[in-house]
Structure 1
Amino acid sequence: MQALISSVLLLASILKICTSSESDWCYQTQVECGSSSCKGPDVWHEVNEQCSKSRQSPINIVTKKTKLNHLLTPLKFTGYQEAFRSTLKNNGHSVTITVPHVATVSEGNLLNTYRAVQFHFHWGKDGGPGSEHTVDGEQYPMEMHIVHMRQDFKNLDAALGDPTGVAVLGFFYEESASSNRKYDGFIEALKNVVESGSNTTIDGISLSNLIPSEGNMTNYYRYSGSLTTPSCTEAVVWTVFENPIPLSHDQLSAFSKLKFHGGKSMVKTFRPVQPRKGRVVYRSGSSVLLASFTLLLLCVTSALGLSQFN
């Protein structure tokens, strides 16, 4: 009888684990006990119906199908160089940092100025594939999203009510042979936010230190999409930069030491790519190509003109 009672209690505890967070969204790596433990990406539409709409992110960027847009000039960054003090938090899905000062991005055919609100990361497992966007099917080890809201809105919730209310800058990472010293303080701080819900103060960082130099950010892709987690709101102007940021294997693996709510290793924190559904993905770089073409045309015209007098 005692053994039967123990078996019933064990079964009840398993069922409780498998159903306690049924209404919560999670990544595929968290899905346990069938589909009842939490709602993985395939059923995020059950958490919020917007996750099944037609302009969802991330996407696979097929370079040969992108369209050159000469209006996609280099972006203008203001306040990105300013060092700041903020809170690094493990929110159970990722690590996030709020940007406490005014830092904005504009130009590059952004029709408004956008103010940075926060940034966070998506990664794989121990440096394995983990970016959300892919390029020609290639998945990078990690991706950072710097979230901006249009500065004419009072808060992010209000901005999400407009199709162009939010601008997100996406940056890929690649594994390098040596450590990226600019990330040393940030990587060290991750040790203080291993558990879900934990946070720590981080000081002396700047957005410009975390991203490539402006000269390495002239090549990028632009398309209209959504948030990549529920509510999946389709209010995002996406800018995904081509040149990746280098981190060593150990630096990339440091993110995999974090934990989801419930204690499971926080790995493979990415949403699978979504159908493009006819959306055009634009690419920058036309200004350089246009200048080269113009120069070539002038040379040819000049040569033809000279030949007429010979």
Structure 2
Amino acid sequence: MGTQGLGITFLTLPLVVRAAAGGQWCYDSQDPKCGPSHWKELKATCGGDKQSPVNIDRRRLQRDGGLGDILFEGYDQAPPGKWRLANDGHTVVLSLASESASEHITISGGGLPGRYRALQLHFHWGSPAGNGSEHTLDGRQLPMEVSETPNTNYNTIVAGLRNVSHAGDSVDLASTFRLSTLLPRTGRLSAYYRYQGSLTTPDCSEVVVWTVFEEPVEIGREQLQAFVSTLHFPAAGPTLLKMTNNFRPPQPLRSRKVFASRAATASGGSPCGGHCQLLSPLLLLALLGPCSPTP
């Protein structure tokens, strides 16, 4: 099995939506008969016109001068309380502190229509052969630097994976950490792409304001492999199936536009100035959300 990968991106939802799809859905790595190409048969919204993820073609971006700095509040402090890590059968989910505690972990600005509260984050990953990236950049997987040195910012999450190997498992993490450590460097948070889209799992509700950062985030090769080697899909018979390729392929952009922030690359040039590698192993999608507007 080839090396898998993870990558950081984030979304904002105008409301918390967590409706279950009618029927059973899965990924092709589990069973192609209930994979992404069949989701619209289970839930009609998955066949909508504003679906995610998409390919971000930087030659066709529209610059939006109103997309400036995003204000992250509370992301530079490790909040009190406990965070819970869980295997929901499709991915590994990190639920943040209680709703009252998360009131101080918010984002605003950057062209967003309000102030949003962070509630949870989760991951998607895939193999090089499976083109596991959800959002793609100029038709390629998003760039990610894979290092032989572990990224200590991921230690808490990676250490907890062994306790959530099977679907339905959950564990309280020993400590919380600063969410800012999972984001690009502070100086690069103003370089991003924005478009209107959907959840990337059923019911595929088209209620998402997507923000995709340009800057790649390093992760250790062994840390990446821990997601693949430790986690399992729900058992379908006597054999456990490793949780791999849990991603949805890019969807048609149709009439939508993808906008570039003031600091983003919009001409097809390298988002990392030629200093990062376009590697097959990628950290694919850590969804910082869903988020909900604070009053």
Common topology (TM > 0.5): yes
Task: Determine the C-alpha separation between the residues in 2 that align with 1:288 and 1:129.
Answer: 23
2:122 counterpart of 1:186: no
Amino acid at match of 2:85: L
Cα distance, 1:211 vs structure 2: 1.4
> 1:119 aligns to what?
121
1:51-86 residue CA offsets vs partner (Å, 9 max, x unmatched): 001000000000111111111101000111231421
C-alpha contact 1:68 1:286 (8 A) present in aligned 2 = no
Partner amino acid for 1:78? Answer: E
C-alpha distance in 1, partners of 2:258/2:128? Answer: 31
> For this pair of structures, how many residues does the alignment match?
232
Question: 1:50/1:128 Cα in 2 relative to 1: closer, same or farther (>3 Å)?
Answer: closer
Question: Which is further off, 204-213 or 116-125?
Answer: 204-213
In the alignment, structure 1 residue 231 sits paired with structure 2 residue 226? no
Q: How does 1:96-107 map to 2 (within 5 A)?
A: 96-100=93-97, 101-102=102-103, 103-107=105-109
Task: Tell me, in whole angstroms, the C-alpha distance in 1 between the residues paired with 2:50 and 2:265.
Answer: 30
Structure 2 letter corresponding to 1:109? G
Tell me the percent identity. 41
In structure 2, the residue matched to 1:300 is none
Cα deviation for residue 131 of structure 1 reads 2.4
The one-letter code matched in structure 2 to 1:117 is: L
SS class of match (1:96): strand
Partners in 2 of 1:191 and 1:125 — Cα distance? 21
> What's the counterpart of residue 260 of structure 1?
233
The RMSD of aligned alpha carbons is 2.2
* Secondary structure in structure 2 of the residue aligned to 1:45: helix
What's the CA shift string for 1:58-116, capped at 9, x where partnerless? 00000111111111101000111231421000000001111222211100011111111
Call closer, same or farther: CA 1:133–1:126 in 2, change over 3 Å: closer
Larger radius of gyration: 1
Structure-2 residue corresponding to 1:59: 54
Residues 212 and 254 from structure 1, CA distance in 2 versus in 1: closer, same or farther, beyond 3 angstroms? same
- Deviations along 1:25-66, one digit per CA (max 9) or x if unpaired, are 00111116xx2xxx1100101221000010000000001111
Q: 3-state DSSP class of the match of 1:30? A: coil
Partners of 1:23 and 1:80 in 2: CA distance:
37
C-alpha distance in 2 between matches for 1:48 and 1:114: 27
Residue number in structure 2 paired with 1:43: 38
- CA offset digits 1:201-259 (Å, max 9, x no partner): 11222211221232121110000000000000000000000111101211111111210
- Taking the aligned partners of 1:241 and 1:288, their CA distance within structure 2 comes to 11
Moved over 2 A (4+): 125-131, 285-289
Distance change (3 Å), C-alpha of 1:107 and 1:206: same
Q: Which structure has the higher relative contact order (CA within 8 Å, separation 6+)?
A: 2
What is the TM-score normalised by the length of structure 2? 0.74
Q: In the alignment, is the contact (CA less than 8 A) between 2:39 and 2:202 conserved in 1?
A: yes
Q: Partners in 2 of 1:286 and 1:271 — Cα distance? A: 28
Task: Give me the whole-angstrom Cα distance separating, in 2, the residues matched to 1:176 and 1:275.
Answer: 33
Counterpart of 1:119, as a letter, is L
- Aligned partner letter, 1:121: F
Partner residue, 2:27? 27
Q: CA offsets per residue over residues 273-306 of structure 1, 9 Å max, x none?
A: 00000211000125999xxxxxxxxxxxxxxxxx
Among 235, 248, 254, the alignment partner of 1:271 is 248
Secondary structure at 2:206's aligned position in 1?
Answer: coil
1:70/1:287 contact within 8 Å kept: no
Equivalent position to 1:133, from 113, 135, 142? 135
| 1:182/1:286 CA distance change after superposition, 3 Å | closer
- Return the offset for 1:125: 3.6
From 138, 151, 176, the equivalent of 2:147 is 176
Structure 1 residues 69, 286: closer, same or farther in 2, change over 3 A? farther
The secondary structure found in structure 1 opposite 2:162 is: helix
Q: 1:288 to 1:95 in 2, by over 3 A?
A: closer
Cα distance in 2 for residues equivalent to 1:122 and 1:273? 13
TM-score, reference length from structure 1: 0.70
Q: Read off the aligned partner of 2:91 and give its amino acid letter.
A: S
The answer to whether the 8 A contact 2:189-2:213 is kept is: yes
Contact 1:127 1:175 in 2 (8 A): no
The alpha carbon displacement at 1:194 in A equals: 0.9
- SS of 1:63's equivalent in the other structure is coil
Does the C-alpha gap of structure 1 residues 272 and 288 become closer, same or farther in structure 2, counting only changes over 3 Å?
closer
Work out which of the residue numbers 68, 88, 98 in structure 2 matches 1:91: 88
